[in-house]
A and B are shown apart, each in its own frame.
Chain A
Amino acid sequence: MQLYLPIAEISVNVFLILGLGGLVGVLSGMFGVGGGFLITPLLFFVGIPPAVAVATSTNQIVASSFSALLAHLKRKTVDLRMGSVLLAGGLVGSSIGLVIFNYLRALGQVDLLVSLFYVVFLGIIGGLMLVESVNAILKSRRPGAKRTRKHHYWVHNLPLKVKFRGSGLYISVIPPLLVGMLVGILSAIMGVGGGFIMVPAMIYLLGMPTKVVIGTSLFQIIFVTAYTTMLHATTNYTVDIVLALLLIVGGVIGAQIGTRIGLKLRAESLRIMLALLVLLVCLKLGLDLVLQPSELYVIQATAP
């Protein structure tokens, strides 16, 4: 069944888009990630214009993060104060990101920018995750090895120290502000929530306890992606509500299936699978940049 998307102005197969949403939903249920980093490139592959893909997937992330946040709020695993600081940084970052995005869009380089960001960040995150989970498996086979954790980094001793009760931290607000800002920039440019970069940063850089990390990052992600959606909707008119709805419906169903699959698998092997998946998407996008394209010319409509 074909459906004409009012904003993307192309006709798509409903089941294809539902399937994409479902697939990403399964993955996000299994691995506990938002899946924005998969949805945006997948939308490119099926022919959605990049600007629409980026703007619409931020809207989809609001939906998937909201249902996950509700669960975390119930379990009280959200550090609202830390979340607010990250959010403040995120809003600034998102505004900066959109300015960069629109500037490069005018230059005709936005596809390159988005692809490069994906290749670099997916490559780094996927590589780190793979190394880390392989190490974890090796360590668990060697009994007696103990995980050491450093508690204070120099970044924590910057001025403007604040007590974060939910995380049990007394650190400067500057590092969380910067982390939030970086994630905001990524959100605007890549159409992602940014959990895949914020979660490691919260654990390894800010030293937050693992149990509040996911909930707190979701809190930040919802507001930043909602803000980004509004920015894209009001400056570029590129949010396709019909496309978003299809992705959301597919994603909701997929997430339920994914959660069930995830419960049956070991955490370490899940992480390795996620790492490989991230690297695979990175590789595909990287090859597209490096290999000679079959069509050397690209048409781009200029805004009238």
Chain B
Amino acid sequence: MMRLIVLLLLTLAGPLRGESIVLGLSQDSVSITATFEGSDILIFGAVSRDAPAPQDTGKLGVIVAVAGPDQPLSVFRKDRQLGIWVNADQVDVRRAPSFYAVATSGPLDEVLTQTEDLRNAITIPRTIRADGATVENSAAYTEALIRIRTKQALYQVQEGGVDLEEDTLFRTAFRLPANLLEGDYLARIYLTRDGRVIDEHSTVIPVEKVGIERWLYNLAHVQPILYGLLSLVIAVAAGWAASAGATLLRR
């Protein structure tokens, strides 16, 4: 709450042109600890103006989009061959966000025009770049990608998920699931009038493994031989302890 007030004060004090965004986050970074079960992230802010809100220029809209690091991936379609279902055709996706959530203050077609969506790559289908010229009906593959990731809560669309109060204060919350990929998450906030973007603001939310998770992950990738030996030592020690324990129990 304190932050909101500070923001508001800043809003009133700053010399600004037209309408622009002032932003706050409930947390500046997300740490993946051993007991990480996902995280809620609250994005809030205000629309600052140097003049009273214009009355006749159309409806104000706020769109918040959070994107996880991009990944190259392949989407396979299973087909029956010789009686069994195998991965048959494949579409390579040059990049698709590992996580993507978009929330709007109203119905999507009201707060965002097609052209603006295309230009700014805001909705989920616009963020996916596939090179699918080789396969028939490659759109079905991207649709499947979105469908599967939506089911896993990795892709979220919340139309009306942004609370906009008196065309000035806005807030929205996202749920980051537990199977989160590390990296820099980009939060973008768009202010629109009649579907046209009039201001945008972005900020980075780093998501990182910390503590033992970080250490093990680094060890596995930087010193794989040491890591492999460590896992073997643990296994052998556990095996030995089990047999020693069993002997003790039998006595």
Does B145 have its Cβ within 8 Å of any Cβ on chain A?
yes
Q: Write out the residue numbers on chain A whose beta carbons fall within 8 Å of the beta carbon of B74.
A: 108, 299-300, 302
State A290–B221 Cα separation when bound (angstroms).
37
Q: Would you call B234 and A298 a contact (CB within 8 A)?
A: no
Closest Cβ of chain B: how far from A242's Cβ, in Å?
7
Interface string of A195-230 (1 = CB under 8 A from B): 000000000000000000000000000000010011
Number of A-B contacts (CB under 8 A): 180
Closest Cβ of chain B: how far from A298's Cβ, in Å?
5
Kindly identify which residue among B34, B231, B236 contacts A66, using a CB–CB cutoff of 8 Å: B236
Q: Would you call A292 and B85 a contact (CB within 8 A)?
A: yes
Does A255 have its Cβ within 8 Å of any Cβ on chain B?
yes
Q: Write out the residue numbers on chain B whose beta carbons fall within 8 Å of the beta carbon of A304.
A: 71-72
Interface residues of A in 137-163 (CB under 8 A from B): none
Q: Write out the residue numbers on chain B whose beta carbons fall within 8 Å of the beta carbon of A66.
A: 235-236, 239-240, 243
Kindly identify which residue among B75, B181, B246 contacts A67, using a CB–CB cutoff of 8 Å: B246
If A67-B240, A255-B242, A299-B148 touch, whether A244 touches B85 (CB-CB below 8 Å) is no
Q: Would you call A302 and B242 a contact (CB within 8 A)?
A: no
Q: Write out the residue numbers on chain B whose beta carbons fall within 8 Å of the beta carbon of A46.
A: none
Interface string of A262-292 (1 = CB under 8 A from B): 0000000000000000000000000001111
Closest Cβ of chain B: how far from A75's Cβ, in Å?
12
Residue of A at shortest CB range from B181? Answer: A9
Closest Cβ of chain A: how far from B229's Cβ, in Å?
8
Kindly identify which residue among B75, B179, B243 contacts A298, using a CB–CB cutoff of 8 Å: B75
Q: Write out the residue numbers on chain B whose beta carbons fall within 8 Å of the beta carbon of A229.
A: 228, 231-232, 235
Kindly identify which residue among A62, A241, A290, A295 contacts B84, using a CB–CB cutoff of 8 Å: A290
If A4-B213, A60-B235, A255-B242 touch, whether A302 touches B35 (CB-CB below 8 Å) is no
Kindly identify which residue among B85, B144, B181 contacts A293, using a CB–CB cutoff of 8 Å: B85
Q: Would you call A299 and B75 a contact (CB within 8 A)?
A: yes
State A109–B212 Cα separation when bound (angstroms).
33
If A237-B224, A252-B242 touch, whether A289 touches B75 (CB-CB below 8 Å) is no
Q: Would you call A59 and B231 a contact (CB within 8 A)?
A: yes
Q: Would you call B87 and A109 a contact (CB within 8 A)?
A: yes
Q: Write out the residue numbers on chain B whose beta carbons fall within 8 Å of the beta carbon of A252.
A: 238, 241-242, 245
Q: Write out the residue numbers on chain A whose beta carbons fall within 8 Å of the beta carbon of B147.
A: 297
Q: Would you call B32 and A4 a contact (CB within 8 A)?
A: yes
Q: Would you call B72 and A241 a contact (CB within 8 A)?
A: no
Does B33 have its Cβ within 8 Å of any Cβ on chain A?
yes
Across the A-B interface, give the 9 residue pairs with the lowest CB-CB distance, nearest first.
A66-B239, A233-B228, A297-B144, A11-B178, A63-B235, A67-B243, A67-B239, A62-B235, A252-B242
8 A-B residue pairings within 8 Å (CB atoms): A1-B35, A2-B35, A4-B36, A67-B246, A108-B74, A241-B234, A290-B83, A292-B85
Residues of B that sit less than 8 Å from A by CB? 32-38, 71-78, 80, 83-87, 90, 92, 140-141, 144-145, 147-149, 178-179, 181, 209, 212-213, 216-217, 220-221, 224-225, 227-232, 234-236, 238-243, 245-246, 249
